[in-house]
Amino acid sequence: MRITKLVLAGALVVVASACQDLDTTNPNNPNRESVLRSPDDVQSLISTTYREWFGRTEGTTPGIAMSFMADEFSGGFFDFGGLELSREPREALNPQSPNNPTGAPWQDYYRIIAGINTAFRAIDEGDMVIRDGGTDVTMRARTFGKLVQGLSHGMVSLIFDQGYVSSEITDFEALSFSEARALLRPYTEVRDTAIVELEEAISLAQANTFTLPSSTSEWIPGIAMSNLDLVRLAHTYIARFMVYSARNPAERAAVDWNEVLSHLDEAITSDFAPVATPGIMSSVYKQRISRQRTTTPSDFARADYQLVGPADVSDGFVTWTNAPVEDRVPFRMTAGDRRIDGVNDPRPETCASAPASASCGLYFGFHQATIFNPDRGTAQRSFYFYHRWGRGTSHEDGPIPIVTVAELDLLRAEGLIRLNRAAEAIPFINKTRVANGQLPAVTIDGAPGVAPDCVPRRMDGSCGSLWDALRYEKRIETAGLEGGLHYYDARGWGALPVNTMIHLPMPVVDLELLQIPIYTFGGGQAGSAPEPEPEKCPVVLPRCT
């Protein structure tokens, strides 16, 4: 029995959709043989892969579930596995649940990889030359394909416990199930494969001068990217995959932080924001967390108190977080951070559609509404809505930030702290803290002030350390950026609620096809997060050890 159903079929789906969307010279759903003979279709197969990658990475599955598990946002709906996987005490993922979030990301990322592999084999086996107006652009296509190969394997490594490490030399059409099983590797090897592919993209881009055209449906939509721009983007994702793949504090500490800093030196220098177009590319994740259909802002999800609570300069959050989960109810904080509340004259443009009863911050706002069923837990309720990105139609008709300079600055700050260069990290933390939060600058001693008048505060109500300030700043500045980002940080920092699963298992359908026993994670069994240690720092700092 062959493995074609698992991977190769996905490649042909990509081929068909690419030809339909781009109206190439082969507009009918082509079979594999016709694709292998058509340079236009091969280029289309490669050039449309990033928008597919974007759609999954900025989609609801598994982004909503991971965001909720990391206490970034919370809600009372079962959609996308969010409520199921974020209830406390944490439960194991039910593999048979209709809300199981494993299937879509696995299928989509491997469909993208399979499509690129098919295109590369077409180029290699037929000595194919792709031309644009008479110019040979074959290496442009190959470089871009390597980039998206790496991005796709990288996402598999962040999300799943294991995965395939397939390339253009792997022909799944010729594999038996046992041979396919042998290709499964742990997430660390999938991550390493991704990094190798991104490094190959860097080498190809450095050796070949080209520009990816600005298009609504191909390449990086809305961005004309030079070969050197592509190099910076690849360095950016290498740094991210190196750090975010860690499953616990020990793995995060073991990251080669000097190498991470080296990649960050070569990374993007402005926010990376591909341009969305209705019906072609959008961020449904951003739309869901900021959705306002009538007068209620954020009617699908609200900012979790674990995200915004450390900015409370009253004792509301300390009381809330130390109460039994079943006794937690929403409350209004006295927010010391202007990103959360207190910017109403005038209101930020993104908060303009909130009702008059709401109070706005730069990114979040207060609105007293109980929109979730109390029978599903009052701890999921929050009075704080989110409006920074995704409001109205902005999730599908304009630039969509997915990597920001602020994220990279704070990633650099973490590396500097871990390398015992904490003083060098301080300017990177203060950069957004002071300008956006209108907070006093932190020092090596941490958050200035005397409790309760300090931000962030610790669970016992005391003023936070520099490490606390870094983590708080990262969470506030990257809220809503990518569904998995807070989840990756929380597990690496040891901050996931106890028994939260630390990665997703393979989808049931693939396990059954490969005759592998069905397994799961979380709920206290294998793959469960330990009890958090919020007071612990990776190095000795004032206020924590």
DSSP state of 496: S
Residue 504 has phi, psi (to 5 degrees) of -95, 145
Residues 147, 63: Cα–Cα separation, whole Å: 22
Residue 181: partners with Cβ closer than 8 Å, 6 or more residues away: 514, 515, 516
Q: What is the pTM of this model?
A: 0.94
Domain ranges of the chain: 8-62+102-265, 284-386
Give, for 234, the enclosing helix (H) or strand (E).
helix 227-244
CA-angle at 145, arms to 142 and 150, nearest 5°: 130
Listing DSSP states for 232-294 in one string gives HHHHHHHHHHHHHT--SHHHHHHS-HHHHHHHHHTS-SS-B-PBPBTTTB--HHHHHHH--SS
By residue count, the chain amounts to 545
Spatial separation of the C-alpha atoms in residues 525 and 509, rounded to whole Å: 22
C-alpha radius of gyration, the chain, whole number: 23
How does pLDDT run along the chain (545 residues), one tens digit per residue? 444 444 433 333 333 333 333 333 332 334 455 556 789 999 999 999 999 999 999 999 999 999 999 999 999 888 999 999 999 999 999 999 999 999 999 999 999 999 999 999 999 988 999 999 899 999 999 999 999 999 999 999 999 999 999 878 777 777 888 888 889 999 999 999 999 999 999 999 999 999 999 999 999 999 999 999 999 999 999 999 999 999 999 999 999 999 999 999 999 999 999 999 999 999 999 999 999 999 999 999 999 999 999 999 999 999 999 999 999 999 999 999 999 999 999 999 999 999 999 999 999 999 998 788 888 888 889 999 999 999 999 999 999 999 999 999 999 999 999 999 999 999 999 999 999 999 999 999 999 999 999 999 998 999 999 999 999 999 999 999 999 999 999 999 999 999 999 999 999 999 999 999 999 999 999 999 999 987 789 999 999 87
In sequence order, what are the beta bridge partners of 135? Answer: 132
Residue 363 contacts residue 476 (beta carbons within 8 Å): yes
